[in-house]
């Protein structure tokens, strides 16, 4: 029995210790040095302190209340750092800095003020359960807010699985992991108190595997916002948009099944990189998706006006290089097959 107890302590404490190392690594050593990494590292550090407090308190119930207060204070920042980490994939760096200052600037005085005015050593009756439950509630609210921020990742992971990317799985796992930890600490009694520590240790070891053995997947820790530091000026974007629209609609370059971004960029007298950036920033899609959008629009117009052409011929005419590619793209964009679309258009309203 004593051996099992020591083994339990070892695995629980090891997770907290490794979390401190990993959090520090992401904060101070991991490259590139970005806010994204800082938020992830800070979240892991706060969790490690909170989990470490749980471990030592479980095996030493007489632990000084000051140490418990330190662990709970760290817990107060787990949710905010999770939220800011998720937000770092959605907004640019300047806005992220402003938002982080707003959240942390409000939360730091609150928890420090409460800690100094009502230290746990003298106001244990307030901390347990009122302040502690308030901390868990705040953690839960931020976790739900994080889930809302990455709702598109949840959608891709659980509904549109074929569209999911590693980063989606990573973000969803982080949010769900935090939700599990909140549930364990807030609702489980002291008998299962180490559940949070063991859960954290398990997730942490998976994180270490991702970090050190999947170097090609380092986007788990920072999204590659390749254009955010060099946005296109509004007047340049407006002029480029007009020229692109005129060329695509009048010359119908999209009908070339072998059209490449370099050809279109040359026609616009700009670089391929600039055109790619413009399409990404202004349409929220890549070059292939934009070209297919024009092809489908053209196909719909031809289906309505030219009943003599077969659907397959229309697909080839609009720039698709195979029947299956045309049908798949049409169904994805319109929500039905070309045949059903033609039948609906032919039916008198």
The domain limits of the chain are 2-214, 234-346
Task: Express each pLDDT in 81-130 by its tens digit.
Answer: 999 999 988 776 777 888 999 999 999 999 999 999 999 999 999 998 89
| Confidence category of residue 156, pLDDT binned at 50, 70, 90 | confident
Average pLDDT, stretch 179-192? Answer: 70
What is the tens place of the pLDDT at every residue in 288-300?
888 999 999 998 8
pLDDT of residue 199: 61
**Distance (Å, whole) CA 94 – CA 100:** 10
**Higher model confidence: residue 200 or residue 24?**
24
Identity of the highest mean pLDDT range in 5-14, 193-202, 267-276: 267-276
What pLDDT, on a 0 to 100 scale, did the predictor assign at position 227? 45
Q: What is the CATH number of domain 2-214?
A: 1.20.1070
| Whether 120 contacts 69, CB under 8 Å | yes
pLDDT on residue 19: 75
pLDDT at position 180: 83
- The confidence band for 201, taking pLDDT boundaries of 50, 70 and 90, is low
Would you tell me which CATH number, out of the four given (1.10.10.10, 1.10.357.10, 1.10.10.60, 2.70.98.90), belongs to the domain 234-346?
1.10.10.60
Tens of pLDDT, residue by residue over 43-78, are 989 988 887 777 777 777 788 888 889 988 999 999
Measured between alpha carbons, how far is 40 from 211 in angstroms, rounded to an integer?
12
Look at 156-160, 218-222, 251-255, 260-264 and tell me which has the smallest mean pLDDT: 218-222
- The two counts, helices (H) then strands (E), for the chain are 17, 0
Please say if the pLDDT value at position 216 is more than 50: no
C-alpha 168/C-alpha 111 separation (Å) is: 32
Of 131-145, 232-246, 287-301, minimum mean pLDDT range: 232-246
- Position 189 scores a pLDDT of 56
pTM here? Answer: 0.60
Is the pLDDT at 147 greater than 60, yes or no?
yes
């Amino acid at each position: 029995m004593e051996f099992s107890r020591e083994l339990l302590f070892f695995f629980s404490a090891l997770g907290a210790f490794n979390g401190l190392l990993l959090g520090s690594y992401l904060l101070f050593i991991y490259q590139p040095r970005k806010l994204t990494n800082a938020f992830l590292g800070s979240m892991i550090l706060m969790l490690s302190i909170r989990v470490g407090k749980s471990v030592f308190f479980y095996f030493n119930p007489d632990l000084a209340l000051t140490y418990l207060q330190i662990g709970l204070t760290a817990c107060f920042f787990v949710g905010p750092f999770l939220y800011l980490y998720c937000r770092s994939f959605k907004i640019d760096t300047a806005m992220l800095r402003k938002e982080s200052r707003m959240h942390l600037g409000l939360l730091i005085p609150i928890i420090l003020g409460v800690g100094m005015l009502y230290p746990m050593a003298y106001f244990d009756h307030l901390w347990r359960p009122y302040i502690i439950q308030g901390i868990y509630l705040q953690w839960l609210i931020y976790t739900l807010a994080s889930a809302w921020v990455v709702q598109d990742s949840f959608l891709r992971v659980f509904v549109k699985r074929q569209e999911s990317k590693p980063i989606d799985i990573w973000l969803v796992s982080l949010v769900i992991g935090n939700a599990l930890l909140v549930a364990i600490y807030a609702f489980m009694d002291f008998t299962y108190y180490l559940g949070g520590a063991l859960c954290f240790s398990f997730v942490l070891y998976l994180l270490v595997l991702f970090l050190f053995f999947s170097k090609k997947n380092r986007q788990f820790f920072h999204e590659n916002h390749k254009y955010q530091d060099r946005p296109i000026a509004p007047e340049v974007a407006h002029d480029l948009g007009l020229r692109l629209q005129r060329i695509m609609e009048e010359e119908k370059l999209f009908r070339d099944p072998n059209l490449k971004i370099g050809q279109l960029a040359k026609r616009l007298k700009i670089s391929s990189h600039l055109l790619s950036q413009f399409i990404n920033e202004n349409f929220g899609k890549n070059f292939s998706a934009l070209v297919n959008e024009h092809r489908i629009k053209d196909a719909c117009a031809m289906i309505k006006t030219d009943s003599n052409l077969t659907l397959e011929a229309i697909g080839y005419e609009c720039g698709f290089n195979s029947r299956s590619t045309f049908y798949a793209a049409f169904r994805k964009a319109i929500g039905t097959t070309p045949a059903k679309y033609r039948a609906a258009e032919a039916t008198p309203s």
